[in-house]
Every structure is written in structure tokens, then in C-alpha cells.
Structure 1
Amino acid sequence: MLLPWYYQRLGAKAVAINNRVLIVDDELSVRRLLFEVARRAGYEAFLAENGQEAIEQTKEIKPAVIIMDIKMPVMDGLEAFERIRADYPDVAVILMTAHGTVDTAVEAMKRGAFDYLVKPSNVTEVRIVLERAFQMRRLREEVAALRHEVQNKYQLGNIIGKSAVMQQVYKAVGRVAPTNATVLITGESGSGKELIAKTIHNNSPRRDGPFIKVNCGALPEGLMESELFGYEKGAFTGAVGRKPGRFELAHQGTLFLDEVGELTPPLQVKLLRVLQEREFERVGGTETIKVDVRIIAATNRNLEDMVHKGLFREDLYYRLKVVPIHVPPLRERVEDIPLFVDYFVRRFAAEAHREVPYVTPEAMELFKRYHWPGNVRELANVLERAVIMSSGVIGVQDLPGLSTTAASPAIVIPETGTLREILHQVEKQVIARALKAHHGNRVKTAQALDISRRALLYKIEEYGLGREGEEEGVVE
């Protein structure tokens, strides 16, 4: 039998498919008939004569489904159903009833019974109801398995890193996760901001609620407003029906506003109101909608600097920065690189159904020397390619892009100036180099730096790189 995909992902040790069905009826002929129907349908069938036996059998064999008559001696099916439901709520109970007691069966369904069959039932009807009951059981197991996988994946202890700077991140995440406080995560693109956001969500009281992500730089202002707040039918051309926004979808969960620094001033005003009042109106609507949402925002831009330049609202900045968490770039936690290499090599080897390749000391040293402008995301891409192309060993020769980049002239770091001034000079050099590498093509440059085109244009203007780009043949 082929296993469902979610069991395959969890591994063979986690697989425990329950195909047991318990048949409970005081009539021997009925028990024999249902036993044969279940056996031919591929299920493992067990028998009981009354409700008391059903309870004892349920404790012993832990069935996934029970087919049980209502009218039986010793203990009837309704009493047995109530006791079984109290101790084993995941068991799907199908009640069998005569025409005169259909109302009783319907009432039992309201209390949690899966379905009922009216005697005499034909074989096809029994098979269909059985299959539906097992399908429901499999769906419940799928949801439980996926929830277990997600919660394990985003446990605080699963974040990779032993460096001192990452220890500070762990402490901050551990303290803020159990609360409802708004969090602002800062860091370069590819450094793991979304992973931190998901870890906070999955270690919070909202872990069973939705985690909704919005990339604030992905859409123009008009579309972003309807994406965040939803819209009513007829609000604009093409609005053929009501659509809930991301705030509504995140009700009783977490809304992750990625690249929040890309929001335009009008949207900043609307976001501020939601943060203050926890209410909004859909585009084209008048009804005020209240939501219970935790906000986690992230950005790779210097919001404080944007506030000083009038590009970002100061009141919104402080509303978002209730608890700030800075994720350091990979080059500032070199001691974590071997841990990442080991993790990604094993992961990509498993996905490609290959033996885990050996990483030579020279290759590891190159990983540690490289600047990693794309941070962890770039490292993952490099290792995925290396695992696929390697023949059991990953050496320096398998990392040509890193060798070239590592040998290129280093970024010049000014020896004087404030920290902000030094960082700006370094960022200017990186952007200028990227523009030159892509012959002034701003779209390709933005993609290479993993920032939005809008953010790149802002940086070009901020650092006065426009003229240089024109001299080098900047193209759109």
C-alpha cells in the first residue's frame, strides 16, 4: 500500500496507519455480514455483541471506526457511544438504527457521531459510509502530522547558530514569543527574518491560528491596500465579489509584514490606525471590522534613517518597534557557517536521494572566508547546486562562483566616522559593484541583491549613484 505524502515526509518511524473497525451488534448474522464487508474493503475487522463489550474492545484494539447498533442488551449503543466519545474523541462512530429510532440517531450525530445507517442497509451503502469515515480519520491524521512537523521545525532549539550574536536572538525570541507584543525584525535580505517570525508564532499562544505573510514591496499601492484590508463587490473594476484581506485572514493568528519599509505614506497611515484601534474597513466598504491579530514586521532598510528623512512615519515606527530583534548577517557569525553547511548538505542530499557528500577542509575554509552578501539564502543555493553536481565530494573546484568572488578586491571599510556613516559607505560600494556587474541593469541588480526595485532606486538616489549608472549605460 502506498503511504500518503505526509507520512512519507515524516519518515517510516512515524507511520502508524489505523485501519481497524469495530462492529457491534447483538445479531450474529449482522455481525458476520458487516465483518465480511469490512474485510473485503481492506479493513481489519473486530466484533462485539453489546455496548459493554464495545467499550472493552475499544480500550484494547483502539479502532479508527466503530459501527454500532443502538438497540442492544446489557448496554445500548447510545450509552456506549457517550462513554467511548468521552475517552476516545477521535474514533468515528457510525450508529445503526431502525426506522422508528432515526430521530435518536440524528440527535447522536449532533453530539458527535459520524453518521448513521438505517436497517436494513445494503452492502454498497455500508462500504460508502465506511470509506467516508476512514477518509475523515486520514484527514485528521494528516492535519495532526503536519501541525507536529511545523511545530517541531520552528522550535526555538531548531534555529541554527551557536555564536554569541545568535544567542542574543534566541533570548529575545524566547522572551517575546509567549506575549502578544508587536515585533520588528531587522536584518539583511536572506538572513532569516521570516524564520524568526515563524518561530515566534509557533511558540506563542497563537500557534494554532493562521500565520499570514504579506510582502509589502511586491505590489503597487492600490493593490496593496486591497490585499491588506480586502474589498467589497464593485469597489473597483474587476471586483466581482467580496474578498477578505490579509488582516481578516490572520484573525486570532499572526500577520507578518515583510519589507514593511516599502509601504507608501498613505498605507502607513492606514496601518497605524489598525495597530492603534485593531479595526479597519474594506476597500469600497463602510462596515468597520475588528480583528485580533499579532503583528510581526520585518525590513532590511534603516527605518530610523527613513524617519529622519521623512520617508517613514515616526509614530508608526515606534508602534512597530515595541520589541526589536536584529538578525545578524552571516559574515558576522562565521562560527555558525559549518553548522549551516552540515544542515544544508544533509537536507539537499536527502531530497535528491543521494549519499551525503564530504565537504573538504579547503571548501569549508572558503565558505568561512566568503562575504555572503545574500546571507543564508545564498549559502543554501550554493550548497544545493554543489550537492546536485558533486560526485560524493564537495571541493573548492565545485564552488567556482565563490572562488572568483573571494579573490575579487575587498570592500573598503572606512577607518573613521560614525557606525551609520561607515555602514552607508560599505552599502554604497556593494550597490555600485552590483550595478557594474549587471551593466547598470537595475532590475537584475535588484534581483541579485534580493531587494525590491523600489528599494534599489531609493538607494541609488540616496548615494548619488544615478549619474554613475548613466555613464555605465543603466537600463531599465
Structure 2
Amino acid sequence: MAKVLILDQSKSVRNILRERLEYEGFSTEATENEKEASDMCAKIPFDVILSDTACKVPDAGIPFIALSTETSIDSAVRAVRNGAQDFLTKPIDMNHLLQSIQRTIENPPAVAAPAAPTAAPGVRRSRRARPAQAEPIIGDSPEIDRVRRLIDRVAPSEARVLITGENGTGKELVARRLHAGSARAAGPFVEVNCAAIPSELIESELFGHERGAFTSAIKQRKGKFEQADGGTLFMDEIGDMSPAAQAKVLRALQERRISRVGSDKDIEVDVRVVAATNKDLREEIRRGNFREDLYHRIGVIVVRVPALREHAADIPLLTDHFIRLISAEYGLAPKPIDPEAVAALQAMPWSGNVRELRNVVERLLILSDGRITAADVKAYCN
């Protein structure tokens, strides 16, 4: 899980960015104080900093994206000269921001600035590549065992899979395991969040465009379908796509070919589509918001990922897993956790599911003393 530090003097900007980025699966911290930001960077291996140009970015060897209310070219030039990987103007276009964060994480600076001398060992390992193999699905409850067995049976096939479940349950993890267990495992795994792309850009994002197809199309661009050729295309939050985009995706699935925006040439693609949604698509069909024919195309196999409250018995295993994982990321020895603290975690409602649990464990590791106690859970998790 990528870590993002938000440094901005506006509380509303910090709150909006945190809410959206955590919804997208990022781990975030936020502050308006430059000294506090520097202290955080000495303790937490951030992947990227989002900094208002009015603030001084910590000299911690972490790439940053400049955010500014100024729209002049001079402002952008100054930001880049000061080391910014990108320059975005306020109000922030979230789609552009997400793309910028992804580019920054995947293509960090060739030479990072020296680490601050107060940094803990291992903290500067902030740019982490995605593992080649899918992460394990943690849990031994009947609910999770059922999901694992279904994945193992379906993965080797070419069947399209629809993954359903609430936000934060681990739908992307299921998609990656489906890809890793398939004959396409050596091919690309390409993901697209349909909810994060404006309706007017979704066609270009999925199918690509030719140079000059529209005003900002300054060069030819391959879409996600072409990028995933020979592998798996993971279409997250597919229930949020516009009707027009749904029709084009249906055609691509039926004919196994696409055409870029601005071109009349068809391109054959060999892609296995795995889709995910937190919506009830049958209800969306009833309301006229989702095409029934597309539903039947993407939902040959339906894998439902249970909410964390439905398999709370797995919380001790998940907590132990996250303690070891996050401690390794921070370069620290894992902290022990009291049984009473685990019981307190099991009693929580977990509206954010496994994603929320991971964030809570990370918070407890940072804020607790030598061990994690029930008092820590009460103090930092309510």
C-alpha cells in the first residue's frame, strides 16, 4: 500500500485529499506544519508528498507533487526547478492527481536527495515495487476459505469474473490472485478504476486515441485494453461507468477488438477481463443504470468477498500479518499485541473492512509504546 503525505495549510484540502486517496487504497498522513512533516518523513517511508507551493517540502529524498492556486507557466517552472515531479493547480482534478501519483511512484527520481540523519534504519526504502506474485489471502474462516477455493478453481480458466463486495474488502487482491493462477500470469496485469475517470475520458482511457483525436491528444496513446493484451484487465468499480462506455466495453468483449478514439481501424486484443464493484448490479440494472447484457458478459463467475464483520474470527491473523508487514516496511522489530487489544479490535464495526484494519494497525504501531494494549486501541481507534 503506497503511503502519501499531504502538506497543505488548508484543512479542507487536507480532508478532501485524505478521504479520496484512502478510498483509492492509499495510506495517508496530513499536516499543515512543515516541522511536523519533516518529523513524519523521518519515521514513515512515504512514497510521495503532495505539497502546497506555499509550504517548504521536507528534504527527505521523497518525490513530491506541487499543488498551487497559481496557474501561470512561471509557477510551474519554479516548482519543477525546485524538484517537483509534477505541478497541479487547485481545485485539484482527482483523476489527474491519481495518475500523477501513480507515475511518480512507478518512476521515482533516478537520484534521490540524501536521507535526513535522524531517519530510522530502513525508513528511506520508500519506493517499493509491486511484488511479482499476488499477496496471500489471510484467514482460516469458512468464509475466506470458500473464496480461496473458488479462486483456485476459476483462475486456470479463461472465464470472465465479477468480484463483488464492499469497499476495502480486498477485491483487487482477489483479481491479482486470479491473474497469478492463470495461464496469463506471465502477461501484464493492467488495472483501471472506472469511478476515478470522468465519463468524457473513459473511452480514451480504455481504448486509447490517435494523435489529434481531440484538443489535448498531442500524441498517439494505447488504451488499457491494448496494454493488457495477452494478460488480464482489471476493471475496478465497473458499476460507475457511463451507459456510453458500457456499450463500448460490451462491443470489445463480444468482438475481441477495439478501435482507438479518432481511428476507424479495428485492433484485435486478447484480454481476460476481471471486473469488480461495490454496487448491487442487479439493482442497478433494475434502475436502468447498468446494461443487463454487459452484466452477463462480465459475470460468468461471480466471486463475493465478505465484509470483515462477516469473518471477524480472522482479525487476529490479519492483525499479526499487518504488524509483521508494516514493521518490515518501517525497518522496525514487530511490536507484541495484547490479547485484550486483539479482542477490542474484533469488537469494532469495521465499515472500511480490511483496508481500515490495516490503517489502524499502522497507526497503533506508530503511536503505541513497547507493545500494543487495549488502552491504545481505545485511545487511537475511536
TM-score range, shorter chain: 0.5 to 0.7
Contact in 2 for aligned 1:372/1:379 (Cα 8 Å): yes
> Is residue 2:203 matched to residue 1:221?
no
> Is residue 2:205 matched to residue 1:205?
no
Residue aligned with 1:359, SS: coil
Q: How does 1:344-383 map to 2 (within 5 A)?
A: 344-383=322-361
Structure 1 residues 402 and 331: alpha-carbon distance in aligned structure 2, compared to 1, 3 A threshold: farther
Aligned to 1:150: 132
> Is residue 2:255 matched to residue 1:273?
no
- Which residue of the other structure, out of 195, 213, 216, is the alignment partner of 1:238? 216
Partner Cα distance (1:231, 1:385) in 2: 43
> Is residue 2:145 matched to residue 1:167?
yes
Per residue, is there more helix in 1 or in 2? 1
Which amino acid letter does the alignment assign opposite residue 144 of structure 2?
M
Which amino acid letter does the alignment assign opposite residue 231 of structure 1?
H
Structure 1 residues 318 and 402: alpha-carbon distance in aligned structure 2, compared to 1, 3 A threshold: farther
- Once the 2 structures are TM-superposed, how far is the Cα of residue 201 of structure 1 from its aligned partner? 0.2
The structure that has the greater radius of gyration is 1
**Partner deviation per Cα, 1:435-457 (whole Å, 9 max, x = no partner):** xxxxxxxxxxxxxxxxxxxxxxx
Q: How does 1:250-289 map to 2 (within 5 A)?
A: 250-289=228-267
Q: How does 1:305-316 map to 2 (within 5 A)?
A: 305-316=283-294
**RMSD of equivalent CA atoms:** 1.4
Residue aligned with 1:212, SS: strand
Partner Cα distance (1:326, 1:297) in 2: 12
- Once the 2 structures are TM-superposed, how far is the Cα of residue 385 of structure 1 from its aligned partner? 1.2
Residue aligned with 1:222, SS: coil
Contact in 2 for aligned 1:366/1:403 (Cα 8 Å): no
> Is residue 2:172 matched to residue 1:194?
yes
Partner Cα distance (2:381, 2:200) in 1: 44
- Once the 2 structures are TM-superposed, how far is the Cα of residue 289 of structure 1 from its aligned partner? 0.7
Contact in 2 for aligned 1:370/1:402 (Cα 8 Å): no
Residue aligned with 1:184, SS: strand
Contact in 1 for aligned 2:168/2:353 (Cα 8 Å): yes
- Once the 2 structures are TM-superposed, how far is the Cα of residue 220 of structure 1 from its aligned partner? 1.0
Partner Cα distance (2:358, 2:172) in 1: 15
Aligned to 1:339: 317
Structure 2 alignment gaps of length 5 or more:
1-128
- Once the 2 structures are TM-superposed, how far is the Cα of residue 402 of structure 1 from its aligned partner? 6.6
Contact in 2 for aligned 1:355/1:392 (Cα 8 Å): no
Contact in 2 for aligned 1:331/1:371 (Cα 8 Å): yes
Partner Cα distance (2:333, 2:217) in 1: 52
Which amino acid letter does the alignment assign opposite residue 166 of structure 2?
E
- Once the 2 structures are TM-superposed, how far is the Cα of residue 399 of structure 1 from its aligned partner? 2.4
Partner Cα distance (2:339, 2:170) in 1: 26
Residue aligned with 1:181, SS: coil
Partner Cα distance (1:301, 1:401) in 2: 33
Contact in 1 for aligned 2:143/2:306 (Cα 8 Å): yes
Aligned to 2:121: none
- Once the 2 structures are TM-superposed, how far is the Cα of residue 280 of structure 1 from its aligned partner? 1.4
Structure 1 alignment gaps of length 5 or more:
1-145, 405-476
- Once the 2 structures are TM-superposed, how far is the Cα of residue 400 of structure 1 from its aligned partner? 3.8
- Once the 2 structures are TM-superposed, how far is the Cα of residue 150 of structure 1 from its aligned partner? 2.0
**Partner deviation per Cα, 1:32-75 (whole Å, 9 max, x = no partner):** xxxxxxxxxxxxxxxxxxxxxxxxxxxxxxxxxxxxxxxxxxxx
Aligned to 1:108: none
Q: Say which structure, 1 or 2, has more relative contact order (CA 8 Å, 6+ apart).
A: 2
Contact in 2 for aligned 1:366/1:402 (Cα 8 Å): no
Partner Cα distance (1:174, 1:402) in 2: 38
- Which residue of the other structure, out of 384, 399, 407, is the alignment partner of 2:362? 384
Partner Cα distance (1:351, 1:178) in 2: 32
